[in-house]
Amino acid sequence: MIATAEDHRAAVEGAGVEFARIRPNVSDFGDYRTLLTTLFDARRGAEYLMREMVMPHLRSAYEDLSQAADAADLLVSHPLTVTLPLVAQRRGLPWVATVLAPMSFMSSCDPPVLAGAPWLRKLRALGPTPYRLVFNLLKRTVRAWEAPLHDFRRELGLPPSKHMAMFEGQFSPFRNLALFDPQLASPQPDWPGNVRICGAPVYDGVAPDTAMRRELERFLAEGEPPIVFALGSSAVWIAGDFWDKAAAAARQLGRRAILVTGPATPENLPSGVRAFPYLPYSTVFPRAAGVVHQAGIGTLAQAMRAGRPQLILPVAFDQPDNAHRAAALGLGRVLPFRKVTAQRLTSELAALLDRPSYACEARVVAEALAKLDGAGCAAEELIASVQRAST
């Protein structure tokens, strides 16, 4: 059973999986584009997420999850399901935590690039101590955001916890599954115990309709491989004039391009540039000359498996860290989304596509990932966890 917001019911049930509703719904927070604009603010987004979206709904989320867990043998958490450890503790159920990106570990030994303070990367040369201080300061700030969660623990009669949901509190003492690829991070001394790096469980979503599929195949057959521009499922809502800049860069380079634009399809595109509201990344990324994306962990997983050079445009949250980890593999370049102009896109893409080493390293990574089954590994771990809990 997948217990999540009502907004995802169709996708879950369409995959043949039982669904349970957990409040609140994303639609409860008003206009989606406005919401995402707030969340992707590098300085205010995380605070808004916790204080305005998570903490005010603890009681309803707990009630819904507790009901969904009535027949459960094992609970599996997401980093934002902050009431799941409470349900597990009160019911005496084992739980497994999922870790979606390396940044979630907040390791001082392998420190992340923080969206609101990328300049902190300069401290890496000084070792882990400066980052321990930085993380301690962050925890003092976050503790105020999470005060309602600690109050709710007391109301439920649970013992107090010194851990915070955005830090150590998201990890399970039972098992923690890292659902990102091992090329992005390796285990560190300050990671929690019982971690297994499974690799990314890639998922394309629904297949495109027949007309869209035919249009894609027709365009691909008309000329050389295009540059593919995509911004994932969230950043695409705040793209603004990005697609115009992408089309201008492709025209300047004399390259064909595909824009995966989501809800807003641009008009008056130049010859050789096509826009699609949605395409499965596994279908289009491997057939690209290069892939331009925002480094959401799911999009990055697909891009790494495609074996094509990447220009990565991180926006917020874990994306700057994901981007720099991928670029460190030699498969691409990084240009922060807020610095994107048509001219900078053009120059960065020219550097990316003119240097064969990026494509070579991208193929090496893709070949290694072809042997990895992240979903299968995670499934085996969950089965083993159920078996251990029953003995």
Taking residues 344-372, what's their average pLDDT? 98
The answer on pLDDT for 25 being more than 80 is: yes
Q: Which tens digits make up the pLDDT trace of 175-202? A: 999 999 999 999 999 999 999 999 999 9
In angstroms and rounded to an integer, the radius of gyration of the C-alpha atoms of the chain is 22
Per-residue pLDDT, 28: 92
The answer to whether residue 76 scores a pLDDT higher than 90 is yes
Say if residue 24 is preceded by a cis peptide, omega within 30 of 0. Answer: yes
231 has a pLDDT exceeding 80: yes
| 119 — pLDDT class (breaks 50, 70, 90) | confident
Compute the distance between CA of residue 199 and CA of residue 205 in angstroms, rounded to an integer.
18
Confidence at residue 307, expressed as pLDDT on a 0 to 100 scale? 98
At residue 120 the predicted structure's pLDDT band, cuts being 50, 70 and 90, is confident
Burial profile 60-75: b = 16 or more Cβ within 10 angstroms, e = fewer: ebbebbeebbeebebb
Q: How far apart are CA 295 and CA 100, in angstroms?
A: 13
CA 62, CA 65: separation in Å to the nearest integer? 5
Inform me whether the pLDDT recorded for 340 exceeds 80: yes
The pLDDT mean for the chain works out to: 95
pLDDT of residue 243: 97
**Residue 206 pLDDT > 80, yes or no?**
no
pLDDT confidence of residue 268: 87
**Average of per-residue pLDDT across 105-109:** 96
Q: What is the pLDDT of residue 389?
A: 87
Partners of residue 273 on adjacent β-strands? 257
Q: CB-based contacts of 202: which residues, under 8 Å, 6+ apart?
A: 282, 298, 301, 302, 305, 374, 375
Highest mean pLDDT range out of 28-32, 122-126, 284-288?
A: 284-288
pLDDT band at 234 (very low <50, low <70, confident <90, very high): very high
Confidence of residue 252 (pLDDT cuts 50, 70, 90): very high
Which of residues 208 and 202 earns the better pLDDT score? 202
Domains of the chain: 2-199+373-390 (3.40.50.2000), 210-369 (3.40.50.2000)
pLDDT at 343: 98
Provide the pLDDT confidence category of residue 208 given band limits of 50, 70 and 90. Answer: confident
> Average pLDDT of 75-88?
97
pLDDT digits (tens, 9 = 90+) for 28-72: 999 999 999 999 998 889 999 999 999 999 999 999 999 999 989
Angle at 316 between CA 250 and CA 356, to 5 degrees: 40
The pLDDT of residue 49 is: 95
